[in-house]
Amino acid sequence: MKKNLGAIPAVYPMPVLMVAAYNEDGTPNVMNAAWGMICGMDKIALFIDEDHKTTQDILQKKAFTVSIADKAHMDVADFFGIATGNKMPDKFAKTGYHATKSERVDAPIVEEFPLTMECELAEVVDTENMYCIVGKIVNTMVDEETLDEKGKVDPSKLDALIFDQFRSGYYVSGEQVGKAWNAGAKLMKESK
């Protein structure tokens, strides 16, 4: 029997994304965002509030990076979500992490995270029900040790954090249990 829980955000898993941009004075700023997703082969959508310092930095610079947080850097990834750039102008100083300037967009790359997408601001969607930053992905860079023998990202090596909205927990993804566009192929053949 199912139990009613009311109107709660019940999507699981959610990514743990590190969104980084430069402040007006050139200081790197980064925030933890779980409400983001790919919305095209070269687009990413971030559902982040307009009043975030990182959002304001993105609007000013027209560029940002999005990194996947991993288990090895969970404490700092969480800190980047707890600390607000509106009150702490240099979060990096507290962590000892390293930000290098992207060669493709005017945004910082957080060196410690294993995968980073470099993005140009493509669009801002501002409606009664949603505020969304859409980025055009111009490049993705990854630590080589996360690649498989064919040069593709191996999720089991990425050790990506996923966020649990039900109990505010972090988990690690990675176990492959099937192949997309294959697991249901038998049912497709049977339906013909």
**pLDDT digit string, tens, across residues 16-49:** 999 999 999 999 999 999 999 999 999 999 999 9
Give every residue of the chain whose pLDDT is below 70, as ranges: 191-192
Structural domain spans, the chain: 14-190
What is the C-alpha separation between 84 and 52, in angstroms, rounded?
8
Q: What is the reported pLDDT for 191? A: 65
Give 64's strand partners. 119
Contact 112, 73 (CB under 8 A): yes
pTM as predicted:
0.94
**Which residues touch 151 (CB under 8 Å, ≥6 apart)?**
none
Helix (H/G/I), strand (E/B), else coil: 75: helix
- Segment holding 80, helix H or strand E: helix 74-82
Beta bridge partners of 31: 19
Architecture in CATH for domain 14-190: Roll (2.30)
